[in-house]
């Protein structure tokens, strides 16, 4: 698009100028987003704002970033957060081994006389290892890359504050080198499982969307879209069973990821029809807590199979 270089503007894929078109495009790449989510993604792209996604595990938060990188045809740069992640792991690190080697070589060749100059040489781009955030800023190409900052709630406050700076300016200052600014701000997607409340200041920089479990019809559609070779009948039964499981007050209600795993397991077993034996044989792919499994086994599995649903 023509508004490309003013630095703040976003990156809509070519041919998309309205939210419904984007929704179609996402669907074409096997991602079914409801109206809310596709509007959120559309706005994030159009306004060039980071998108902050929250929701239960397995509802497809990370998937959003992946599908975006496909429809924009740009690399996906992923930063998995964890406790204690710091600048050296997230942004850049100097390549000490190479620097040391360089010193030795220079010494051997007697090139270290001009000390100031030599030190400058040690801190140049060639000795810098770039980690995900720097990679995202340094990317060159027609479209900005997709930067996925996954599970931000696992990182700590210090890192969050640091991220705040990057997400507002899309620039990083490396003391020895100077400031590196993104040609075009990357499409940033942040996800959180809400194990910890992320700071308001960070959220304020972002568009916020809470992804819910899908309704029955959409889940059936998702299953059919994502699991090749599944028949409508089975897809409907599985989705129905999962919906019932979600209403059952379990420790970990299954997400869409589990629905897909389960369907794949069933398809692999050549199932055409969900019955009690199949359910008890494959329950491990949907419910991952022993208590949850016991609770489910306790009730009539035929109820889960939804024999009336056929």
Partner 1 sequence: MPENAAPGAAPPILDAAVTFGRVLRRAGLPAGPDRVVEFVRAVEGLDVTRREDVYWAGKITLCSRPEDLEVYDRAFRLFWDEEEPRLVSPPKSRLSFSLTEDSVQPPKKTVEKGERGEEAVRLRYSPVDVLRKKDFADCTPEEFAELHRLMADLNLSGSLRKSRRLGPSPRGRRDARRTLRDALRTGGEPVRHRYRKARDQPRRVVLLCDVSGSMAPYSRALLRFMHAGVASGEPVEAFVLGTRLTRVTRELANRDPDRALGEATRAVEDWSGGTRLGDTIKEFVDRWGQRGMARGAVVVVLSDGWDRGDVEMLAEQMQRIERLAHRVIWVNPLKAAPGYQPLARGMAAALPHVDVFLSGHNFESLEALARAISGAGRYSSPLSARL
Residues that bind partner 1 (CB under 8 A): 18-19, 35-36, 39-40, 42-43, 46-47, 49, 52, 54, 82-86, 88, 93-94, 96-97, 99-100, 103-104, 106-107, 112, 119, 122, 153-154, 156, 193-197, 200, 203-204, 207-210, 251-252, 291
Cβ distance to partner 1 smaller for residue 20 or 28: 20
How far apart (Å, rounded) are the C-alpha atoms in residues 249 and 252?
8
Cβ-proximal residues to 181 (8 Å cutoff; 6+ apart), any chain:
137, 169, 170, 171
For helices 232-246 and 256-268, angle between their N-to-C axes, nearest 10 degrees:
140
Cβ distance to partner 1 smaller for residue 200 or 270: 200
Rounded to the nearest whole angstrom, what is the least distance from the CB of residue 121 to partner 1 in the complex? 12
Cβ distance to partner 1 smaller for residue 104 or 125: 104
Rounded to the nearest whole angstrom, what is the least distance from the CB of residue 260 to partner 1 in the complex? 22
Q: 188 vs 18, 44, 45, 61, 108, CA distance in Å?
A: 20, 8, 9, 13, 46
How far apart (Å, rounded) are the C-alpha atoms in residues 144 and 72?
9
Cβ distance to partner 1 smaller for residue 120 or 277: 120
Beta bridge partners of 55: 211
How far apart (Å, rounded) are the C-alpha atoms in residues 144 and 75?
9
Q: How far is CA 23 from the centre of its chain?
A: 18
Rounded to the nearest whole angstrom, what is the least distance from the CB of residue 268 to partner 1 in the complex? 30
Cβ distance to partner 1 smaller for residue 46 or 184: 46
Rounded to the nearest whole angstrom, what is the least distance from the CB of residue 273 to partner 1 in the complex? 33
Rounded to the nearest whole angstrom, what is the least distance from the CB of residue 181 to partner 1 in the complex? 23
């Amino acid at each position: 698009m023509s508004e490309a270089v003013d630095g703040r503007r976003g990156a809509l894929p070519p041919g998309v100028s309205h939210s419904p078109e984007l929704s179609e495009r996402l669907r074409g790449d096997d991602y079914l987003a409801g109206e809310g989510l596709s509007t959120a993604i559309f706005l994030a792209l159009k306004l060039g704002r980071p998108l902050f996604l929250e929701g239960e595990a397995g509802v497809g938060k990370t998937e959003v970033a992946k599908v975006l990188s496909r429809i924009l045809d740009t690399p996906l740069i992923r930063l998995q957060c964890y406790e204690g992640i710091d600048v050296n792991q997230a942004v850049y690190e100097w390549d000490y081994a190479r620097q040391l080697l360089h010193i030795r070589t220079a010494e051997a060749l007697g090139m270290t006389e001009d000390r100031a100059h030599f030190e400058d040489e040690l801190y140049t781009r060639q000795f810098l290892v770039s980690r995900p955030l720097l990679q995202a800023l340094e990317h060159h190409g027609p479209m900005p890359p997709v930067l996925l900052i996954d599970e931000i709630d696992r990182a700590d406050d210090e890192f969050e504050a640091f991220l705040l700076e990057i997400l507002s300016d899309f620039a990083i200052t490396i003391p020895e080198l100077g400031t590196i600014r993104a040609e075009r701000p990357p499409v940033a997607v942040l996800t959180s499982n809400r194990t910890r409340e992320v700071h308001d200041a960070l959220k304020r920089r972002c568009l916020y969307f809470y992804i819910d479990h899908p309704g029955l019809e959409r889940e059936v559609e998702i299953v059919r879209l994502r699991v090749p070779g599944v028949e409508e009948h089975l897809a409907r039964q599985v989705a129905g069973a999962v919906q019932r499981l979600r209403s059952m007050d379990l420790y970990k209600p299954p997400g869409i990821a589990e629905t897909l795993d389960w369907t794949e397991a069933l398809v692999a077993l050549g199932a055409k029809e969900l019955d009690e034996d199949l359910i008890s044989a494959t329950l491990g792919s949907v419910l991952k807590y022993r208590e949850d499994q016991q609770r489910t086994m306790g009730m009539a599995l035929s109820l889960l199979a939804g024999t009336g649903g056929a």
